[in-house]
Structure 1
C-alpha cells in the first residue's frame, strides 16, 4: 500500500533492524526486548487508565484512502492513501487536571540524539501547548543502552533553535543527562513516565 504525506511525498516506513532469533553476546538492548517504545507507552497508558491515574491516548493519524482494490467480494485491499495533515505529537490527555502532550522517539545512536527525528510543525505545536499552560515534553529512548529520558519541551525548543542558528544537528548524550529526567523501566506500568512528569510539574 502506498501512503503519501500532505505535500505528495511518498511515505517510506523505516525497516526494523532488530533480529530476535539471532544470537548475540552483546548487552541486551531495549530494541530486542520484543516491544517497541510506542508499544510500551501504550501498555503503560492502559495501566494508568485502568487504575484511574491518568487518561492519555495515542493520537489517531487521519488518512484519506484514494485507491482500493477488491480481489474478493469479502476483502478490500488499500493500494494508495494520503496523510490528510501533518502530524503534531504522538500522545495527549489529562493528568492531575493538566493537559499533557508529548512525542516519543527512539534512536540506536549511543552518543547523541539526532534532531532530524523532529519536524518544524511539531516544535510549533509544542510552543502552542506551552502558551496555553499545558505540559509538553518528549520521551527519548536510547534503544541500544535501554535508557529512557523525559525532556521538557522548552529544552527541546532551545536545542532546535540552536540548530536553526547554525549549531549542531543533534543533542549530545551529556546534554540529555544534564537536562532530562530519567524514566525507569519496570513491570506495571512498563514505563513509569508519569513519575518523571511529577518531577517536571514540581519545577
Structure 2
C-alpha cells in the first residue's frame, strides 16, 4: 500500500520560533480539514509560533520571572492543531492542542481569537498550580487575566463586577484579579509565585491584608 502522502505532509508541516533558550513549535495535523485549512489561511504556522514566543515573553514579565531560574524548566512549547472537538483548546504540560473544528466554525476575526486563546493556553504552560492543589477557577482566571492584560479579551466577556463567585473562573475571575492587581500592582505575580509549592486562600491575606471573600465583596460593591 502506498503511504498517505497528504497525511505525511501534514505531520511535517511545522515551523518554529525561539525566545531565550526555549523553542516554540507549531504544527497543523489537521491540514486536510476545513478548520485546519482556515487556520493556515487566516493564522498560519509562522505567526502561531511567534505568538507562542511573544506570549511567553509577556507572561515572564507579568509573573516577574526575570530569569530562567524563576520559571518552570521548559525547553520547548508546542502547538498542535488537531481535528478534535469538545473544547476550544487545552494544554498538557508543554503541549497546546487547538481544535481545528473550533477554528473552522468561529464567526469573526479568527486570527485575533486564536491569538487570545494562545496567550491563555501558554499561560498554563508557565504558571504554577500549587502542585495540583490550586483552585481550578483560579488557574483559569489567571490565564484569562494574562489574556486581558495582553489586550486580547473578546467582546463577549463579562464586565468588571459581574459574576457570582471570585473563583468562578475564566473572565469572571480574570476581572476580579485585575481589581486585586489594581490594589497592589504585581499582585498576580506574587500570587503565582506563592503557588509554586502549594496553595491557600490565605495568600490573599498575606499579599493584600484582606480575605478573598472580603475582597470579592468590596469588588462587587465597587461596580454595583
Whose strand fraction is larger, Structure 1's or Structure 2's? 1
Query: More helix per residue: 1 or 2?
Result: 2
Higher relative contact order structure (alpha carbons within 8 Å, sequence separation ≥ 6): 1
